[in-house]
Structure 1
Amino acid sequence: MSERPALADAGTVIIIPTRYGSSRYPGKPLAPIMGPDGITKTLIGWSHDGALAVCEDAAVVVATDDKRITDEVDDFGGQWLMTPESCGNGTERVAACLDALPNAQLLVNFQGDALLTPPAFVTALVDHMNANPETQVATVAVRCSAETYRHLAEDAAQGRVGGTTVVVNNRSDALYFSKRILPYLPDGRMPDEDMPVLLHLGLYAYRRAALERYVALGPTMLEAVEGLEQLRFLVAGIPVSVVTLEEQGYPIVEVNNPSDVPLVEGILSARALP
């Protein structure tokens, strides 16, 4: 196995932006998640392992503003960068790492609460950026299975903020992202090939210049209302390319609420079965 490049030398860096003070789930990065072997790791530990499973020529680092998280990263042998408390979202936190990453031209935002993200999805995103050098920002979505759609619909029915959906144009650029289920499906209609529901995953790749412009733009009304940082790019007219992939035989549930933990543990167990 080849050694990963040092942070200061890496051209591609996978960054896990993480903060302790989630309003919906305080302390979420340190939440214990039990694996199929009965061993428990923190959420940030699981996410870090997922990032390490991606291409070996990329460096991996946790970006945070909290010593409790850096202590945990030290415990499992990862690398971290301290970023300002003033970062309003994960994209701003990734941008705050630019000075410490002078050679990074491609930066991947690997969300710390999306431990079920298949490493192959990250590889597909990086490959997409490398094949399309004009693309400034890209992200990933999956076509919802019936099970994933029911999970989203149940969250909505119970008043919980769950996953994010995206609709795209014929160039696969995002038209809009929302925490509502888009497009609207009539009662009893399930998503299918003709009317897919695309679940957006919190996985992004950016060019360095796109991050610099993002920070210079400042927050927008839509991102504040929806609570979705990527809408700042759309408001500014910066296309966000959406790489649409298929689910990997299991629902990709993020840990957004404490009630998601047993769901994720069950999926981890089922995924480990032969």
Structure 2
Amino acid sequence: MKKLRTIALIITGLFLMSACAPRAHEKGNNEERCLSEDGVSLLVSLLLPAVPDKAPGLILVHGFGADHHVWDGFAAALQQGGIMTAAVDLRGHGGSRMQGKTALHYSALSTDDLSNTLHDLKAAKNCLLEAGADPDNLAVIGEGLGANLALRYALEDPQIQAVVMLSPGLDYKGITSLDEIKKLKDCPVLLVACEDDAYSAMTVSALKAAAPVFAELRTWTGSAQGSEIFAIHPEAIHYITTWLRQIIQS
């Protein structure tokens, strides 16, 4: 009986050690399976440059209802340019559909749930650091809702050196941006939109006017939104990459 109790205690201890581990991930090709701080199983696509050690790192945040694949072409271009990227499927999206035994779907996420996706961005940053990215040269880019989330994450993480916001909104499902950008310190921001996307064009103008830090505004013709801008204006990839290099690769 004493032996059985001893075995039970050992098993319990191992379980607790596993449960308390901050992250766990399985590697395969360019994808990692990792765990957010609040227990969401996340899929992260990680692209490493030829020399990953101390490479600049960029977190890629997709919009509502999308997944990490919207960044495929952009991430490949940055990889060729020596920048490491981590594109995360936000909770309820793509391959990030489980929190413990609870299934998640983006259509059912509340504003509080969306706010908790900042844990997902932190997990993506940890993937970058574990792969060798330079902790002093990190940035974040987001599209649509992901742009607003990227801004909020930059406020929480002092290691983030720059933010790029593609087609942001003043309010995306309760995730706001105007009050948030006023709180930025020592973190330049690039604001991108298409001229005929009226809401985003209005938003980037308002954000630039409100920003207390260096804020660059760049618009393109047409009505494309978010990462769709790259298909219509491929030169936007070069523009954004060059802008980032001035900050995180200088």
TM range (shorter): 0.3 to 0.5
Report the structure number with the largest CA radius of gyration: 2
The TM-score, its normalising length taken from structure 1, stands at 0.34
Give the TM-score, by structure 2 length: 0.37
Structure with more of its chain in helix, by fraction = 2
Greater relative contact order (Cα < 8 A, sep 6+): 1
